[in-house]
Amino acid sequence: YSKDRGRNTYNFYTHQMDQDINRRLRVEEQLRNALKRKEFEVYFQPLVEIKSRKIIGAEALLRWKNALLGQVTPDEFIPIAEQTGLIIPIGQYVIDIAFNATKKWQQQFQSQFKIAINVSPKQFRENTFIDMLKMQLEKHQIHVSSVELEITEGVLLNGDPIINSNLTSINDIGVSISMDDFGTGYSSLSYLRSYPFDTLKVDKSFINDITVDPGDLELVGAAIAMGHGLNLKVVAEGIETEEQYHLLRSLKCDYGQGYLFSKPLPRAEFEELLQTQVKSADQ
Ligand code: C2E
Ligand code: MG
Ligand code: MG
Ligand code: MG
């Protein structure tokens, strides 16, 4: 083979690989110090009741801004936090901040305010998870009925017995569990049958085209009907337009999230939004 081509291929390949590995190592290295450098911020996206269009709670979504890397998306850093185990302290930090805000909002604006928190597989498999959760509930004096943990199919995939026992404990404590990104996995239906879910969050990829794709509309309608048949609440993710909202309303979807209502917001901005809603209800 040609020496040139060989070298070019080789160079191209290593260059790509170097870039990927370098990026990953740099992210990992920076991630190790991110907590103590206070580089994380917890954002809140309104969870809206469809029929009243009122904010009834929020989903906590983590944001990371680093001096060297700039803003890094959760889709990039959460998997690295998972693989390195850093998700354990980071996950606890999210719960701590989110519960702190929730308590304040319950006292000032809305006693029934709900908070949804994403929990990734590694966190969920940790045998200290339940104790950590109880400790945080106690610390912030949060009632269990205000809390929902969002898990994806990935949490359930490997059938580890600790997962079953953690899910059972969470259910026994009275904290709700929701299946996030519903419809994107392979075994969502069998998991729904086997585990004590309270809520289905229909993935935004299904909501995206409901106004133009009759098949997607049919699927979302079926997911909502099935959820209700199983006594679950249904949340639609990624609602961006009035048309999507009205369709979901006619399908009797319970709750929604999406840019139509608001993007995820820093704590202070979310609080302003909530305050505005409470004030207008007073008038
Ligand atoms: P997710 O839990 O499914 O969160 C919903 C994602 O959809 C969020 O992306 C949110 O900003 C985005 N979104 C909300 N409304 C709309 C909309 O109308 N249109 C579009 N296109 N997108 C919308 P984000 O914040 O980038 O988070 C991505 C994923 O990272 C989350 O997906 C979740 O799996 C994970 N994640 C975020 N924060 C945490 C965390 O604190 N812990 C763990 N374990 N995972 C987290
Ligand atoms: Mg989520
Ligand atoms: Mg989701
Ligand atoms: Mg997701």
What are the tens digits of pLDDT across the range 31-41? 999 999 999 99
Q: pLDDT at position 1, please?
A: 46
Residue 278 CA, ligand 1 centroid: distance in Å: 26
Q: Is the CB of 209 under 6 A from ligand 1?
A: no
Helices 161-173 + 129-140 axis angle, to 10? 20
What residues have CB less than 8 Å from 157, skipping those under 6 apart?
A: 121
Residue 215 has pLDDT above 90, yes or no: yes
Q: Is the CB of 264 under 6 A from ligand 1?
A: yes
| Mean pLDDT computed over 190-209 | 92
Instruction: State percent of the chain over pLDDT 70.
Output: 95
Question: DSSP per residue over 76-94, as a string?
Answer: HHHHHHHHHSTHHHHHHHH
Question: Confidence band (pLDDT; 50, 70, 90) for 12?
Answer: low
Residue 204 CA, ligand 3 centroid: distance in Å: 7
Q: Is the CB of 183 under 6 A from ligand 1?
A: no
Rg (C-alpha) for the chain, rounded Å, is: 21
Q: Is the CB of 256 under 6 A from ligand 1?
A: no
Provide the sign of the torsion angle of the four alpha carbons 251, 255, 258, 260, taken in this order. positive
What residues have CB less than 8 Å from 63, skipping those under 6 apart?
A: 40, 41, 42, 43, 71, 74, 264
What residues have CB less than 8 Å from 237, skipping those under 6 apart?
A: 181, 201, 202, 203, 204, 207, 256, 257, 258
| Mean pLDDT computed over 190-197 | 86
Residue 2 has pLDDT above 70, yes or no: no
Enter the pTM of the model. Answer: 0.94
Q: What is the pLDDT of residues 117-168, one digit of tens each?
A: 999 999 988 889 999 999 999 999 999 999 999 999 888 887 788 888 899 9
- The 3-class secondary structure across 141-202, one letter per residue, is CCCHHHEEEEECHHHHCCCCHHHHHHHHHHHHHCCEEEEEEECCCCCHHHHHHHCCCCEEEE
Q: Taking the C-alpha atoms of 141, 142, 145 and 146 in order, what is their torsion angle to the nearest 10 degrees?
A: 160
Return the residue whose CA atom lies nearest to atom 34 of ligand 1: 118
